Structure 1
């Protein structure tokens, strides 16, 4: 199983952004990352210098959004939707996107659900509950 380090993730996003800026060929996953980077121009300064990105501290105490975590969650949710895993996420996403009028806004709401599922699993010491995750997204889509 692929288990990238924090630095691996940061290098990946910086490299995808660098390739984009230099009009180089992107891998399919880099192209998806680039698309999310383009939807978050506020992160582009963070991605422009790999050494600065590797050294940056996005701890909760500093009160800054971690652009690498945010973009990683977009990638994860994109992959979940593309393969409908956990089952039902594609339909729940489509309902939420329609209700919000924006796929991007729906992604951000799903991020909250994903974060909650991970937090619950870590707190209780049990595997993530995919069914509860999907149900949380569906509730948001219904109102």
Structure 2
């Protein structure tokens, strides 16, 4: 199983951003990341400097959103939808996107459900509950 470090993740997104700006060839995963990066121009400053990205602290007390976590969640949801895992997530996310008129806005709603599932799993020391996650997305989609 692939288990990248925080620095690996930050380097990956910074490199995808750099390649996009210089119009270099992207790997398939970088291309998916790029698609989400361009929808978040507010993160350009954090993605432009690798050393700054590696040193940045996005602790809760700082009150600043972590662009690398946010983009990672977009990437995770895109992968879940592409392989329909958990089963039904593709249809639920597509229904939510249709209801909202935006895939991007749908992803942000799905992120809330994903974050809630992870929080419950960590809090209770239990495996992630894919059924509860899917139910949350379906509720938001109005299904």
Shorter-normalised TM-score: what interval? over 0.9
Question: Which runs of 4 or more aligned residues in structure 1 lie more than 3 Å from their structure 2 counterparts after TM superposition?
Answer: none
Q: Shift of the alpha carbon at 1:21?
A: 1.0
Unpaired segments ≥5 residues, structure 2 = none
Q: Distance in 2 between matches of 1:95 and 1:140?
A: 9
Q: Shift of the alpha carbon at 1:40?
A: 0.2
TM-score with structure 2 setting the length: 0.98
**Residue 15 of structure 1 aligns with which residue?**
15
Q: Shift of the alpha carbon at 1:78?
A: 0.1
**Residue 31 of structure 2 aligns with which residue?**
31
**Residue 47 of structure 1 aligns with which residue?**
47
Cα deviation digits, residues 95-132 of structure 1 (max 9, x gap): 11111111100000000000000000001111000011
**Residue 84 of structure 1 aligns with which residue?**
84
**Residue 58 of structure 2 aligns with which residue?**
58
Q: Distance in 1 between matches of 2:127 and 2:99?
A: 30
**Residue 119 of structure 1 aligns with which residue?**
119
Q: Distance in 1 between matches of 2:53 and 2:126?
A: 33
Is it true that 1:105 corresponds to 2:128 in the alignment? no
Q: Shift of the alpha carbon at 1:22?
A: 1.1
Q: Distance in 2 between matches of 1:127 and 1:137?
A: 18
Please report the RMSD computed on the Cα atoms of aligned residues, expressed in angstroms.
0.8
TM-score with structure 1 setting the length: 0.98
Unpaired segments ≥5 residues, structure 1 = none
